[in-house]
A and B are shown apart, each in its own frame.
Chain A
Amino acid sequence: MSALLLRDLRLAVRAGGGFGLGLAFFLIVVVLVPFGVGPAQDLLQVIAPGVLWIGALLACLLSLDRIFALDWEDGSLDLLVTAPLPMEAVVSIKALAHWLSTGLPLVLASPLFGLLLNLPVEGYKPLVLSLLLGTPALSVIGTFGAALTVGLKRGGLLLSLLVLPLYVPTLIFGAEMARRGAEGLSTGTPLLLLAGITCGTIALLPFASAAVLRVNLR
């Protein structure tokens, strides 16, 4: 199990798809927003939590098709099916590797990007916390989408179409928590709901992803 995780992480680092690309994309989104809405500091301050959440979500989305694509092409996915490891474990590890290589760097970098968007001081803790709680769900849901589209040639656009509606609850609660934090309100309720969604998806969705992957490898 840990061998698979290590292999995936190594691949992500070497191929440059993980850490680098996602972060660069996140940075570009954050840089482009002030060009779009104007440089007024007070406006940026209001929209900062939402922009940071959307940026993180899109950066996550960008690297989803790599979760299974490489393994599919070189045939190692077929080997994983015959391996003694249950499919549910395989997809969970894949999701974990995706989170470690994409989600975690985004979480760690988000305070820096918050600075660029003039996020108020009290907003940093809820922002980082909400991303820390929310991005695992994004990775798990994304793994499901990637498993659905694994055999398709032009699966990228379809993958976004399938995954983005599934991201709605996570985005709503995550961004709500970051926004309430930035306005100095209590963040307890959205925090609990966000944590609930994340725990639920981590517990249940791997079964769906594994079933889908088995169908696709039939």
Chain B
Amino acid sequence: MNLNALWEYANPKKFIQTTDRVLPWVSGLAVVALVVGLVWGFFFTPEDYRQGSTVKIIYLHVPSALMAINIWLMMLVTSLIWIVRRHHVSALAARAAAPIGAVMTVIALITGAIWGQPMWGTWWAWDPRLTSFLILFLFYVGYMALWEAIENDDTAADLTSILCLVGSVFALLSRYAVNFWNQGLHQGASLSLDKEENVADVFYHPLLVCIAGFVLLFIALVLLRTRTEIRARRMRALLARERMG
């Protein structure tokens, strides 16, 4: 496949045409994967011998936490594409993704708090992972607020892209700073290539399905929301032209 052909989808019209066909499939798959994963996890997995039934929270906690970080990375990539190649769809996709990322961060934090209460005996601890997620949430909020505050679309896209770049560096710095500041209660990574560290297989397989479900849901939502942003942008342009004369 010619890689250059990929840039064709940066054309807003082409993007809407293509997603028209793709979107129903992605949304359908997302629903199937989420229902299968969550039902499997909730009804058909055993209890953990130490954590009891709270282990079932993992099917929400781990996928949402994964998405919270990866959505920021996706925004970083699309921001870079906007800065380098100035494709509007790219900037609008970053804008469309931010609220999804914020919601994922909130889900990860809330399920974490609910899980932490019986396990650690506290809703909230100033543990490095928890703290960095809270900071990540602040970054999402600031990013969205900047988009909302600026009227000119291109200016807003430029400024938020640069904020995303600078914010990524500082988010990474904060992650290490927070680690230095307090060694925490949170366990290490639940999923790694190192098989020794992994959760047991009974929990692992439904978890993978849930992660796939969250990823698909994100793709469906980001396509839908990007389409909305493209249309909203076109509408603003038309209205502006009308006012001019």
- A contact set with B: CB distance below 8 Å: 144, 148-149, 151-152, 155, 158, 161-162, 164-166, 168-169, 172-173, 176, 189-190, 193, 197, 205, 208, 211-212, 215-216, 218
Contacts and interface: CB of A to CB of B under 8 A. Distances in A.
Interface string B174-212: 101110110000000000000000000000000000000
B177 A215 contact: no
A165 B159 contact: no
Interface in B145-175: 145-146, 149-150, 155, 158-159, 162-163, 165-167, 170-171, 173-174
B139 interface: yes
A208 B159 CA distance: 10
B141 interface: yes
A93 B48 CA distance: 60
Given A162-B163, A172-B178, A176-B180, A152 B138 contact: no
B173 A162 contact: no
B174 to A, nearest CB: 4
A165 B135 contact: yes
A162 B155 contact: no
B49 to A, nearest CB: 37
Interface residues of B, number: 26
Given A165-B139, A166-B167, A197-B173, A212 B159 contact: yes
Interface residues of A, dominant DSSP: helix
Contact of B181 (A165, A176, A215): A176
Given A148-B146, A193-B180, A169 B170 contact: yes
A169 B177 contact: yes
B142 interface: yes
B56 to A, nearest CB: 33
Interface of B: 135, 138-139, 141-142, 145-146, 149-150, 155, 158-159, 162-163, 165-167, 170-171, 173-174, 176-178, 180-181
Given A168-B174, A208-B165, A161 B159 contact: no
Interface residues of B, dominant DSSP: helix
A216 B181 contact: no
A189 B181 CA distance: 11
Contacts of B176: 169
Given A158-B149, A172-B181, A212-B162, A165 B155 contact: no
Nearest to B139: A165
Nearest to A212: B162
Contacts of A189: 180
Contacts of B146: 148, 158, 162
A172 B177 contact: yes
Given A169-B174, A172-B174, 4 more contacts: A148-B159, A168-B170, A176-B181, A208-B165
Contacts of A216: 155, 159
22 contacts: A148-B162, A158-B145, A158-B146, A161-B138, A161-B141, A162-B142, A162-B146, A165-B135, A165-B138, A165-B139, A165-B142, A165-B170, A166-B167, A168-B135, A168-B174, A169-B173, A169-B174, A169-B177, A189-B180, A205-B166, A211-B162, A212-B162
